[in-house]
Structure 1
Amino acid sequence: MPKITYTQPDGVQSVVDVNEGDSVMRGAVLNGVPGIVAQCGGGASCGTCHVYVDKDNTKPLPEMHPVEDELLHCTSSPRQDNSRLSCQLPVSAELDGLVVHVPETQI
Protein backbone atom coordinates (compact mmCIF):
# COMPACT_ATOMS: atom_id res chain seq x y z
CA MET A 1 0.00 0.00 0.00
CA PRO A 2 1.49 3.39 -0.95
CA LYS A 3 2.52 5.71 1.87
CA ILE A 4 1.71 9.41 1.65
CA THR A 5 3.26 11.91 4.06
CA TYR A 6 1.14 14.89 5.12
CA THR A 7 3.20 17.70 6.66
CA GLN A 8 1.40 20.22 8.85
CA PRO A 9 2.36 23.91 8.88
CA ASP A 10 4.19 23.33 12.19
CA GLY A 11 6.27 20.52 10.64
CA VAL A 12 4.45 17.60 12.27
CA GLN A 13 4.13 14.74 9.79
CA SER A 14 1.57 11.98 9.40
CA VAL A 15 2.64 9.03 7.26
CA VAL A 16 -0.47 7.26 6.03
CA ASP A 17 -1.09 4.07 4.07
CA VAL A 18 -3.50 4.98 1.27
CA ASN A 19 -5.30 2.46 -0.90
CA GLU A 20 -4.40 2.53 -4.56
CA GLY A 21 -7.23 4.21 -6.45
CA ASP A 22 -8.12 6.50 -3.55
CA SER A 23 -7.12 10.15 -3.78
CA VAL A 24 -4.55 11.87 -1.58
CA MET A 25 -7.55 13.75 -0.11
CA ARG A 26 -9.50 10.58 0.70
CA GLY A 27 -6.44 9.09 2.37
CA ALA A 28 -6.21 12.16 4.61
CA VAL A 29 -9.92 12.20 5.47
CA LEU A 30 -10.12 8.46 6.21
CA ASN A 31 -7.09 8.72 8.50
CA GLY A 32 -8.06 11.91 10.34
CA VAL A 33 -5.25 14.05 8.98
CA PRO A 34 -5.95 17.59 10.20
CA GLY A 35 -6.20 20.47 7.74
CA ILE A 36 -7.81 18.66 4.82
CA VAL A 37 -11.41 19.88 5.03
CA ALA A 38 -12.74 18.38 1.78
CA GLN A 39 -16.15 20.06 1.97
CA CYS A 40 -17.26 18.82 -1.45
CA GLY A 41 -16.10 15.26 -0.81
CA GLY A 42 -13.71 15.18 -3.74
CA GLY A 43 -15.85 16.72 -6.45
CA ALA A 44 -13.32 19.44 -7.34
CA SER A 45 -15.80 22.16 -6.53
CA CYS A 46 -14.61 23.76 -3.27
CA GLY A 47 -10.81 23.96 -3.03
CA THR A 48 -10.71 22.92 0.64
CA CYS A 49 -8.33 20.03 0.01
CA HIS A 50 -5.56 22.32 -1.24
CA VAL A 51 -2.03 21.03 -0.62
CA TYR A 52 1.47 22.01 -1.59
CA VAL A 53 3.31 19.11 -3.22
CA ASP A 54 6.82 18.91 -1.81
CA LYS A 55 9.18 20.95 -3.97
CA ASP A 56 11.58 17.98 -4.21
CA ASN A 57 8.85 15.72 -5.62
CA THR A 58 9.87 13.41 -8.44
CA LYS A 59 6.67 11.33 -8.38
CA PRO A 60 4.54 11.37 -11.54
CA LEU A 61 1.45 13.52 -11.01
CA PRO A 62 -1.46 13.84 -13.42
CA GLU A 63 -1.73 16.99 -15.46
CA MET A 64 -3.83 19.70 -13.87
CA HIS A 65 -7.37 19.90 -15.23
CA PRO A 66 -8.62 23.42 -16.05
CA VAL A 67 -11.26 23.16 -13.29
CA GLU A 68 -8.57 22.42 -10.71
CA ASP A 69 -6.47 25.27 -12.07
CA GLU A 70 -9.39 27.68 -11.68
CA LEU A 71 -10.24 26.54 -8.14
CA LEU A 72 -6.65 27.00 -7.02
CA HIS A 73 -7.04 30.73 -7.71
CA CYS A 74 -9.74 30.83 -5.00
CA THR A 75 -8.11 28.98 -2.10
CA SER A 76 -7.81 30.68 1.28
CA SER A 77 -4.07 30.02 1.48
CA PRO A 78 -2.03 31.50 -1.36
CA ARG A 79 -1.59 29.48 -4.50
CA GLN A 80 2.00 28.48 -5.22
CA ASP A 81 3.69 26.78 -8.15
CA ASN A 82 3.36 23.45 -6.33
CA SER A 83 -0.32 23.87 -5.33
CA ARG A 84 -2.71 21.03 -6.12
CA LEU A 85 -6.13 19.87 -5.01
CA SER A 86 -5.50 16.61 -3.19
CA CYS A 87 -8.81 15.24 -4.50
CA GLN A 88 -7.31 15.36 -7.99
CA LEU A 89 -4.28 13.24 -7.09
CA PRO A 90 -5.14 9.55 -7.44
CA VAL A 91 -2.87 7.29 -5.44
CA SER A 92 -0.95 4.58 -7.27
CA ALA A 93 2.14 2.53 -6.51
CA GLU A 94 4.21 5.21 -8.27
CA LEU A 95 3.12 7.77 -5.65
CA ASP A 96 4.52 5.75 -2.75
CA GLY A 97 6.54 8.22 -0.68
CA LEU A 98 4.78 11.36 -1.93
CA VAL A 99 5.04 14.27 0.52
CA VAL A 100 2.43 17.02 0.61
CA HIS A 101 2.27 20.08 2.84
CA VAL A 102 -1.03 21.17 4.34
CA PRO A 103 -1.63 24.94 4.09
CA GLU A 104 -2.26 27.18 7.12
CA THR A 105 -5.96 27.45 6.31
CA GLN A 106 -8.54 25.89 3.97
CA ILE A 107 -11.60 28.02 4.67
Structure 2
Amino acid sequence: MWSTVAMPIAGRRATAFLTVQLSRYSVNTSDTTKHIKMRWKGKGLPEREVKANVGQTLLEVSRANDIYLEAACEGSLACSTCHCILDEKTYSVANPPKDAEEDLLDLAFDLRPTSRLGCQVVVSEKMDNALIELPSATRNMAVDGYVPPAH
Protein backbone atom coordinates (compact mmCIF):
# COMPACT_ATOMS: atom_id res chain seq x y z
CA MET A 1 0.00 0.00 0.00
CA TRP A 2 1.35 3.43 -1.02
CA SER A 3 0.74 6.83 0.56
CA THR A 4 1.38 9.84 -1.70
CA VAL A 5 2.54 13.09 -0.10
CA ALA A 6 3.37 16.40 -1.84
CA MET A 7 6.15 18.18 0.02
CA PRO A 8 7.59 21.65 -0.75
CA ILE A 9 11.20 21.44 -1.88
CA ALA A 10 13.52 23.06 0.66
CA GLY A 11 14.70 26.52 -0.33
CA ARG A 12 12.10 26.92 -3.03
CA ARG A 13 8.87 28.84 -3.20
CA ALA A 14 5.60 26.96 -2.70
CA THR A 15 5.30 26.42 -6.47
CA ALA A 16 7.94 23.67 -6.34
CA PHE A 17 6.88 20.35 -4.87
CA LEU A 18 8.38 16.91 -4.63
CA THR A 19 5.85 14.10 -4.80
CA VAL A 20 6.86 11.29 -2.47
CA GLN A 21 5.26 7.87 -2.43
CA LEU A 22 5.79 6.08 0.84
CA SER A 23 5.38 2.40 1.55
CA ARG A 24 6.51 0.19 4.33
CA TYR A 25 9.52 -0.94 2.29
CA SER A 26 10.49 1.80 -0.17
CA VAL A 27 10.15 5.43 -1.23
CA ASN A 28 9.52 6.67 -4.80
CA THR A 29 9.93 10.35 -5.67
CA SER A 30 9.11 12.49 -8.67
CA ASP A 31 9.92 16.17 -9.11
CA THR A 32 6.78 18.02 -10.28
CA THR A 33 8.59 21.34 -10.68
CA LYS A 34 8.05 23.00 -14.06
CA HIS A 35 11.20 23.97 -15.95
CA ILE A 36 11.98 26.50 -18.65
CA LYS A 37 15.10 27.31 -20.64
CA MET A 38 16.95 30.61 -20.26
CA ARG A 39 20.01 32.09 -21.90
CA TRP A 40 22.58 34.10 -19.94
CA LYS A 41 25.47 36.20 -21.26
CA GLY A 42 27.83 38.99 -20.25
CA LYS A 43 30.83 39.65 -17.98
CA GLY A 44 33.02 37.47 -20.17
CA LEU A 45 30.43 34.70 -20.18
CA PRO A 46 29.62 33.39 -23.66
CA GLU A 47 25.89 32.98 -24.20
CA ARG A 48 24.86 29.91 -22.28
CA GLU A 49 21.54 28.06 -22.07
CA VAL A 50 20.44 26.82 -18.64
CA LYS A 51 17.41 25.17 -17.09
CA ALA A 52 15.40 27.25 -14.61
CA ASN A 53 12.66 26.14 -12.25
CA VAL A 54 9.43 28.10 -12.30
CA GLY A 55 9.18 29.93 -8.95
CA GLN A 56 12.92 30.51 -8.51
CA THR A 57 14.39 33.99 -8.60
CA LEU A 58 17.01 34.84 -11.23
CA LEU A 59 19.54 34.94 -8.39
CA GLU A 60 18.66 31.34 -7.46
CA VAL A 61 18.88 30.29 -11.11
CA SER A 62 22.32 31.86 -11.44
CA ARG A 63 23.59 30.10 -8.30
CA ALA A 64 22.15 26.74 -9.39
CA ASN A 65 23.95 27.03 -12.74
CA ASP A 66 27.32 28.44 -11.57
CA ILE A 67 26.74 31.85 -13.15
CA TYR A 68 28.43 34.54 -11.09
CA LEU A 69 25.84 37.10 -10.03
CA GLU A 70 27.38 39.03 -7.16
CA ALA A 71 24.44 39.60 -4.76
CA ALA A 72 26.47 41.22 -1.96
CA CYS A 73 23.38 41.42 0.27
CA GLU A 74 22.57 37.76 -0.46
CA GLY A 75 19.20 38.61 -1.99
CA SER A 76 17.79 40.73 0.85
CA LEU A 77 16.98 43.74 -1.37
CA ALA A 78 19.69 45.91 0.17
CA CYS A 79 22.07 46.47 -2.77
CA SER A 80 22.11 46.50 -6.57
CA THR A 81 24.88 43.99 -7.25
CA CYS A 82 22.53 41.33 -8.66
CA HIS A 83 21.58 43.76 -11.44
CA CYS A 84 20.46 41.93 -14.60
CA ILE A 85 19.34 43.24 -17.97
CA LEU A 86 16.33 41.39 -19.37
CA ASP A 87 15.27 41.17 -22.98
CA GLU A 88 12.15 43.23 -23.72
CA LYS A 89 9.75 40.27 -23.88
CA THR A 90 10.96 38.90 -20.55
CA TYR A 91 10.80 42.34 -18.93
CA SER A 92 7.17 42.72 -20.06
CA VAL A 93 6.06 39.37 -18.56
CA ALA A 94 8.11 39.49 -15.33
CA ASN A 95 6.52 40.30 -12.00
CA PRO A 96 6.49 44.11 -11.66
CA PRO A 97 9.26 45.80 -9.64
CA LYS A 98 8.47 47.19 -6.19
CA ASP A 99 9.42 50.75 -5.23
CA ALA A 100 12.35 49.52 -3.13
CA GLU A 101 13.79 47.67 -6.13
CA GLU A 102 13.45 50.73 -8.36
CA ASP A 103 15.21 52.86 -5.72
CA LEU A 104 18.14 50.42 -5.60
CA LEU A 105 18.32 50.18 -9.38
CA ASP A 106 19.10 53.91 -9.41
CA LEU A 107 22.45 52.91 -7.86
CA ALA A 108 23.21 50.18 -10.41
CA PHE A 109 26.04 50.40 -12.93
CA ASP A 110 25.08 50.37 -16.63
CA LEU A 111 21.36 50.87 -15.96
CA ARG A 112 19.08 50.13 -18.93
CA PRO A 113 15.31 50.42 -19.49
CA THR A 114 14.90 46.65 -18.92
CA SER A 115 17.15 46.43 -15.85
CA ARG A 116 15.97 44.43 -12.83
CA LEU A 117 17.49 43.00 -9.67
CA GLY A 118 17.97 39.24 -10.00
CA CYS A 119 16.82 38.64 -6.43
CA GLN A 120 13.41 40.14 -7.23
CA VAL A 121 12.51 38.58 -10.58
CA VAL A 122 10.55 35.34 -10.16
CA VAL A 123 10.76 32.86 -13.04
CA SER A 124 7.45 32.08 -14.74
CA GLU A 125 6.52 29.82 -17.65
CA LYS A 126 6.11 32.94 -19.81
CA MET A 127 9.87 33.52 -19.55
CA ASP A 128 10.82 30.49 -21.64
CA ASN A 129 13.86 31.30 -23.83
CA ALA A 130 14.55 34.51 -21.89
CA LEU A 131 17.86 36.27 -22.47
CA ILE A 132 19.46 37.59 -19.28
CA GLU A 133 22.48 39.84 -19.69
CA LEU A 134 24.91 40.66 -16.90
CA PRO A 135 26.28 44.22 -16.83
CA SER A 136 30.01 44.70 -17.32
CA ALA A 137 30.50 45.81 -13.69
CA THR A 138 28.70 46.36 -10.39
CA ARG A 139 28.94 48.96 -7.64
CA ASN A 140 29.82 47.09 -4.48
CA MET A 141 30.93 48.82 -1.32
CA ALA A 142 32.48 45.62 0.06
CA VAL A 143 36.23 45.04 0.14
CA ASP A 144 37.69 44.30 -3.31
CA GLY A 145 37.82 40.61 -4.04
CA TYR A 146 35.06 39.69 -1.57
CA VAL A 147 32.89 36.91 -2.92
CA PRO A 148 29.69 36.35 -0.93
CA PRO A 149 28.90 32.73 -0.07
CA ALA A 150 26.14 30.93 -1.93
CA HIS A 151 22.89 30.68 0.00
Find 1:22's aligned residue among 39, 56, 66.
56
Q: What SS does structure 1 have at the residue aligned with 2:79?
A: coil
> Is residue 2:109 matched to residue 1:86?
no
Counterpart AA for 2:104: L
What amino acid is the match of 2:53? N
Q: Is residue 80–residue 105 contact of structure 2 (8 Å, CA) maintained in 1? A: yes
TM-score by length of 2: 0.63
Match of 1:60 in 2: 93
5+ residue gaps, structure 2, are 1-34, 141-151
Q: Report the AA paired with residue 114 of structure 2.
A: N
Match of 2:133 among 90, 101, 104: 101
Q: Which has more helix, going by share of residues? A: 1
Q: Displacement of 1:9 after TM fit? A: 4.3
Higher relative contact order (CA 8 A, sep 6+): 1
Residues 65-80 of structure 1 aligned to structure 2 (within 5 Å): 65-75=98-108, 77-80=109-112
Q: Does 1:44 align with 2:77?
A: yes
Q: Number of residue pairs matched?
A: 104
Q: Once superposed, what is the RMSD of the aligned Cα atoms? A: 1.7
1:14 alignment partner, SS class: strand
Query: Which protein shows a greater Rg?
Result: 2
Structure 1 gap ranges (5+): none
> Could you report, residue by residue, the CA deviation over 1:45-102 in whole angstroms, capped at 9, with x for unpaired residues?
11111011124x2551111110000000112x22111111111110121111111110
What is the distance in 1 between the residues matched to 2:58 and 2:119?
A: 6
Q: Secondary structure at the match of 1:71?
A: helix
Q: Among the aligned pairs, what percent are the same residue?
A: 25
Runs of 4 or more consecutive aligned structure 1 residues displaced over 2 Å after TM superposition: none
Which is strand-richer, 1 or 2?
2
